[in-house]
Amino acid sequence: MKMGVLSNKISREELKPGDHIYSWRYAYIYAHHGIYIGEGKVINFTQSQGGREISTGTVLDRIIFSSSSSETRNCPNCGGDQSIRRGVISSCLDCFLTDGELYLFQYAVSPASFVAKPRGGTCTIAASDPSSEVLHRAFFLLHNGFGAYHLFNNNCEDFAIYCKTGLLVITRISVGRSGQATSFLAAASAIVSSPLRYLTTSFTGLAAVGYGMYCFSRLVSDIGVRRDVEKVPVESLVSASAPF
C-alpha cells in the first residue's frame, strides 16, 4: 500500500470489505467512489451514461459524466450492460475501475495531513464507523436507493462517505459531503475573490494567498469539521420524503 501526500494507491489483495475506494477518470479530473463489499464487488452510486442524472443546470451536465461506473458492456461478472445502469448498483472491480488505478480513501486524518493533500476527494478528518455498519448502509441503499444524483450535492463520493460515517448535511444551501465538489468551489472562490488584490501585489504573493484560501476553504468544508451535519440512520432515508 502506498499512502502519502500524493498517493493513496492500494492493491486488490489489500482490500477489506467496507473499504471506501476510488479511481480517477479523465486524466485525474474526477474520481469515481464506491464501497468495497468483498469477493471483487463494489457498491457505487452512478448516473446514466451521458450524465443525464447530474442536473446541475450548467454545461457540466454534458461534459462531466465520468461517474458512470463502467463502459464495459455485457460484463460476465456483473451480469448485463453496466453502462446503462444508474442509481446505487453493484459492480465488479474491473467495471468500477474501467482500467484505472485503485485508491483507498482515508478517514480520521489530521488537519495537517488533510491540508497537505493537494486534491480533494481523497481523505477526510471524519472517522469511519465499523465495517459492519458501513456494509449495512451500503446494502440497504443498494436495495432502496440514495436519491437523485447531483454533481455538487449528492454524488458518488457523498454516497461512499455517508456509508462510512452515517453523516448527512442538514442544510439545503451548501454543497454536500464530497471533497471533490468542495475543492472545486474552494478553487473558484480563491480565484475570483476580490480581497486578494489588496493583500499583495506580487504574483508569488497572490499565488500564496490564493492557495492559503483554497486550503482553508477545503478544511472548513470537510465533513469532519463542519457543523451542519448530523448522524442519520440509513432506514430513515427511505421514510424521509426529500432527504437530499
Question: Which residue stretches of the chain have pLDDT < 70?
Answer: 1-7, 48-73, 80-84, 172-214, 216, 239-244
What is the predicted pLDDT for the residue at 99? 86
The answer, as to whether pTM is greater than 0.95, is no
What is the predicted pLDDT for the residue at 85? 72
Please check whether residue 89 lies inside any domain of the structure: yes
- Phi, psi for residue 32 in degrees, rounded to 5: -100, 135
The tally of domains found in the chain comes to: 1
Please check whether residue 215 lies inside any domain of the structure: no
DSSP 123: B
What is the predicted pLDDT for the residue at 78? 80
Please check whether residue 166 lies inside any domain of the structure: yes
Looking up residue 52, the CATH number of its domain turns out to be 3.90.1720.10
Single-letter residue type at 82: Q
Q: Is 37 left (phi over 0), alpha (psi -120 to 50) or beta?
A: alpha
Cα 83 from Cα 86, distance rounded (Å): 8
Please check whether residue 181 lies inside any domain of the structure: no
Please check whether residue 236 lies inside any domain of the structure: yes
Cα 12 from Cα 24, distance rounded (Å): 16
Query: If you search the block for the grid coordinates 432515508, which residue do you land on?
Result: 237
Closest CA relative to residue 141, chosen from 89, 79, 91, 95: 89
Cα 166 from Cα 74, distance rounded (Å): 33
CB atoms within 10 A of CB 201: 8
Please check whether residue 59 lies inside any domain of the structure: yes
Please check whether residue 207 lies inside any domain of the structure: no
The predicted-structure confidence for 74-107, as pLDDT tens digits, reads as follows 788 887 656 667 899 999 999 999 889 999 999 9
Please check whether residue 133 lies inside any domain of the structure: yes
User: The domain containing residue 87 runs over which residues?
Assistant: 12-170+227-240
